Amino acid sequence: MSIRSTRVPLPSISPLPRIPLSHVPSFYSCSTAIDLATASHPAVTASLPLIPLSLPHLCKVGAPPKSFVARDLETNPSRTSCSMMAALLRNKARMANLSWLQPLLLIPRKRPIQSQSNLWPEFKGEEYMTKKIQQINKALDEAVPLQHPTMLHQAMRYTLLAGGKRLLPILCIASCELVGGNQSSVMPIACALEMIKTEVLVLDDLPCMDNDDLRRGKPTNHKVFGEATSILASHALLCHAIEYVATRTKNVSPDRLIQAIAEICSAFGSKGVMAGQFADLNSEGKEVSLSEVEFIHKNKTGKILEASVVCGVLVGSGNEDQIQILRKYAKCVGLAFQVWDDILDITGSTERLGKTAGKDLLCDKATYPKLMGMDESKKFARQLVAEAKEEISCFDSTRASPLHHLADFTVSRNM
């Protein structure tokens, strides 16, 4: 679906190609828009050859564009770029005596009203996820090469490359791109998040912990390599992750990189995942309160989701406000994710989950369904997702659509 525009007929110009909205580089939440597609039509650019090149921000997607829509936005923190562009065009038009361009530039237009559930129909959530997962899997494969000692590295790669939702790296990349960063700069951190997440899962499956036989649809790491090698590989993967971030991240200021490293280590440490894991293990077979369950989930899942989005914003040169907004988004998504995990543990099948279903019940673990019932848990999870989306409503919806989709995904997945 594309935005309809009111066109001023141009003299001697053939019909303009329409571009779908999903291809329009739109960085900002918009309330009104000015359709400038015509301005870069061959007949116009012949007179104004500098225009497309003078709009680096608006032309990021497939530069130089054949045509584009520029938006003038009320909530746009960088509206200067847009206004400056309009001023430039106006000036060029005046100098080139293209008086017909003047009214074209000033046509205000309302954003079409769309339902919340169908905000950006051009964004294909599943395609997006599939593409990102492929890119992340390729990057992970390259990031942990098979080298000497071979079996140790096999163990490091085994669970890491066994598939998985790749939620943390996708969140990290989407947050980075949301604030204007690019995927190549953030990929080492995205990979590191998945490496550390994986090694926590490997430890989690050990006999002295959750004692699980199945992970990501395959026998658990220690079942294949033995406990000792699994523990060494797990430790090595954590070290490798941080080293990888420190040595492979390009085009990011060292200051921001150090902040990102601190964020990751804090999230996976004794005030994050490890605190959650510890409380989780100690809750087995005990009466626990809702606040204790919340403590477990916030720490086991929430903090690493937070770290993922914060690292994305840091690498994307985002500001402190954006970090705070995405933190809140991640808190909601993280909790929703864990509530849904609890639900799936009861409703899902082992085959589909890729891990043993019903483990929580078996271990008498503290879960949401146990405490508030199945229906209330589902309602709670969906409410959290709505809150998460509300938190990021200040961002341009096109650009934020991956994060909208990721929030929805947490409570629609069946694995």
Chain contacts with a copy of itself (rule: CB under 8 A): 147-149, 151-153, 156, 200, 203, 206, 208-209, 226-229, 231-240, 242-243, 246-247, 253-255, 257-259, 261-262, 265-266, 268-272, 274-275, 277-279, 281
Contact 373, 341 (CB under 8 A): no
CB of 118 or CB of 247, closer to a copy of itself: 247
How crowded is residue 354: how many other Cβ atoms within 10 Å of its Cβ?
18
Return d(Cα 364, Cα 303) in angstroms, integer. Answer: 24
CB of 153 or CB of 216, closer to a copy of itself: 153
Q: How far is the CB of 356 from a copy of itself (least distance, A)?
A: 18
Q: Which long-range contacts (CB under 8 A, 24 or more apart) does 96-104 make?
A: 96/47, 96/48, 98/44, 98/47, 98/48, 100/8, 100/10, 100/11, 101/38, 101/39, 101/44, 103/8, 104/7, 104/8, 104/35, 104/36, 104/38, 104/39
CB of 40 or CB of 229, closer to a copy of itself: 229
Return d(Cα 230, Cα 179) in angstroms, integer. Answer: 38
Q: How far is the CB of 341 from a copy of itself (least distance, A)?
A: 19
Q: How far is the CB of 43 from a copy of itself (least distance, A)?
A: 50
Helix spans in 163-204 (H): 167-178, 183-204
Q: How far is the CB of 369 from a copy of itself (least distance, A)?
A: 24
Q: How far is the CB of 359 from a copy of itself (least distance, A)?
A: 15
Q: How far is the CB of 212 from a copy of itself (least distance, A)?
A: 13
Contact 93, 99 (CB under 8 A): yes
Q: How far is the CB of 234 from a copy of itself (least distance, A)?
A: 8
CB of 234 or CB of 401, closer to a copy of itself: 234
Q: How far is the CB of 360 from a copy of itself (least distance, A)?
A: 17
Evaluated on CA atoms 212, 213, 219, 220, the torsion sign reads positive
Contact 143, 135 (CB under 8 A): no
Helix (H) or strand (E) holding 219: strand 218-219
Evaluated on CA atoms 344, 347, 352, 353, the torsion sign reads positive
Q: Which two tokens stand for residue 70?
A: 């520029």
CB of 275 or CB of 415, closer to a copy of itself: 275
Q: How far is the CB of 206 from a copy of itself (least distance, A)?
A: 7
Closest CA to 304 of 278, 284, 279, 333: 333
CB of 187 or CB of 237, closer to a copy of itself: 237
Helix (H, G, I), strand (E, B) or coil at 316: coil
Look at phi and psi of residue 344 and say left if phi exceeds 0, alpha if psi is from -120 to 50, else beta: alpha
CB of 113 or CB of 228, closer to a copy of itself: 228
Q: How far is the CB of 255 from a copy of itself (least distance, A)?
A: 5
Residues contacting 397, CB < 8 A, separation 6+: 29, 119, 120, 404
CB of 103 or CB of 226, closer to a copy of itself: 226
Helix (H, G, I), strand (E, B) or coil at 295: helix
CB of 281 or CB of 374, closer to a copy of itself: 281
CB of 80 or CB of 270, closer to a copy of itself: 270
Q: How far is the CB of 157 from a copy of itself (least distance, A)?
A: 11
Residues contacting 225, CB < 8 A, separation 6+: 151, 154, 155, 158, 233
CB of 101 or CB of 260, closer to a copy of itself: 260
How crowded is residue 104: how many other Cβ atoms within 10 Å of its Cβ?
23
Rounded to 10 degrees, the C-alpha dihedral 190/191/193/195 comes to 170
